[in-house]
Amino acid sequence: MTGSPKVIAAINAALASELRAMSQYKQDAAVLVNANLESLAKYFSDFAGQEETHYGELLERVTFLNGRPSVQATATDYRESVEEILDGNLALELQARNDYQVAVELAVIERDSVSRALFEDTEGDEEKHINFLEGEIALFRELGEVAYTSAWKARG
């Protein structure tokens, strides 16, 4: 099946976003493990796995539409503190949600209901990540870095 070039371009943009997010989450998890925050790192490792799943689903869709996957990897940001990790990932997730909202609208215009559903499902997962990150940022700001990280260390 040959898909809309506009939808294929949106899928390729989403592929790049998911690859970046997956890499960023894995990198941030490694930093958190090094800071003895293994339980918090597990969340970021799990998020990386979810982003990898999104990547695979998008890759299958673009090839089904006879599109050529075209992914240009973008560099991750090295984040040294928990606050940088939380804030940076929230910014990435907010951008991803906005990009998926635009992609949903495009898929509707292009009458591609399967791609629309894929974009909507992925957007829903990004919103779950946003919810988690916003909650953690609020706790971090309320408790302060020492109490926040101590609470995560206590979780083991």
Encode pLDDT of 48-95 as tens digits.
999 999 999 999 999 999 999 988 878 889 999 999 999 999 999 999
Question: Residue 98: is its pLDDT beyond 80?
Answer: yes
Instruction: Report the CATH number at residue 18.
Output: 1.20.1260.10
- Domain range for 105: 5-154
Confidence of residue 116 (pLDDT cuts 50, 70, 90): very high
Residue range 10-20: average pLDDT?
95
Q: Which two tokens stand for residue 110?
A: 């292009």
Amino acid symbol at 101: Q
Residues 123-138 have pLDDT tens digits of 999 999 999 999 999 9
Interatomic CA distance for residues 75 and 24, integer angstroms: 9
Model confidence at 156, pLDDT cuts 50, 70, 90, reads confident
pLDDT of residue 58: 97
Tokens 């804030």 appear where?
87
Q: 12, 71 in Cβ contact below 8 A? A: yes
- Report whether 19 contacts 96 (CB < 8 A): no
What is the spatial distance between Cα 47 and Cα 142, in angstroms, rounded to a whole number?
A: 24
Please say if the pLDDT value at position 2 is more than 80.
Answer: yes
How many domains, the chain? 1
Question: What integer best gives the mean pLDDT of the chain?
Answer: 95
Number of helices (H), then strands (E), in the chain: 5, 0
